Structure 1
Amino acid sequence: MRSPSSLQTLPNLQQIVEDLRAFLPDIQKRYGVTSLGIFGSYAKGEQALESDVDLLVEFDDRPLTLLQFIALENELSDRLQVPVDLVEKNMLKPVLGQQILNEVMVL
């Protein structure tokens, strides 16, 4: 969780992208992540103090438990120092999913 003093400054999109690219090889290896992208307020440049980082993720064929999925989401939140909402691409609903796919910035 972010400290009270860090709540005054938000990371910008470039910082988020650089940080995610830095740990992408590790999470690919450990969790089987094959694709990771940013959507939502950060992708649109509309983030606010209460914003989370919305990440669209795809995994390889290895089984991933719910606990592992939550562990990945928590690890990304800790590393970015911003709450993360992790969304699996194959779980997108048609209408909202298309909107997300139109705005996602794939890393």
Structure 2
Amino acid sequence: MTVDLRDSRIAEVCRRYGVAELSVFGSVARGDDTDESDVDLLYVLAPNSMLGFEIVDLRDDLEKIVGRPVDLVPKSRLKWVIRDRVLAEARVLYAA
């Protein structure tokens, strides 16, 4: 099953939760995902935005849109070991 990451609902969800930037990385970004692959998403919150338990709601809303499990990773928390590789393959889906 192909993942549709151009869905306009992604932008709506990002605005609702204060996400300033959302990018896909990993197997979906590289195009070597399978039907069992999750969707790895890197996010940056807008200034003065905060997510507590709402991060679960954000993930759930994105999973409903893409039809697969979603792994949300804050860009600021990327480990240095994988940071360069992740940023090189990341494709921006939404930017405020």
Q: Given the two structures, how large is their TM-score scaled by the length of structure 2? A: 0.86
CA RMSD of the aligned region, Å? 1.3
Structure 1's consecutive aligned runs of 4 or more residues displaced over 3 angstroms after TM superposition are: none
The match for 1:11 is 2
Residue 93, structure 1, aligned to residue 93, structure 2: no
Deviations 1:44-90 (A, max 9, x none): 1111121011111110122210x111110111001211111111101
Unaligned runs of 5+ in 1: 1-9
Q: Relative to structure 1, is the Cα distance of residues 40 and 57 closer, same or farther in structure 2, using a 3 angstrom cutoff?
A: same
Aligned to 1:76: 62
Q: 1 or 2 for the larger relative contact order (CA 8 Å, sep ≥6)?
A: 2
Counting matched residue pairs gives 92
Q: How does the TM-score come out when normalised to structure 1?
A: 0.78
The one-letter code of the counterpart of 1:93 is K
Partners of 2:10 and 2:34 lie apart in 1 by 25
**Match status 1:29 vs 2:20:** no
* Percentage of pairs with the same residue: 37
Question: Comparing both structures, which one devotes a greater share of its residues to helix?
Answer: 1
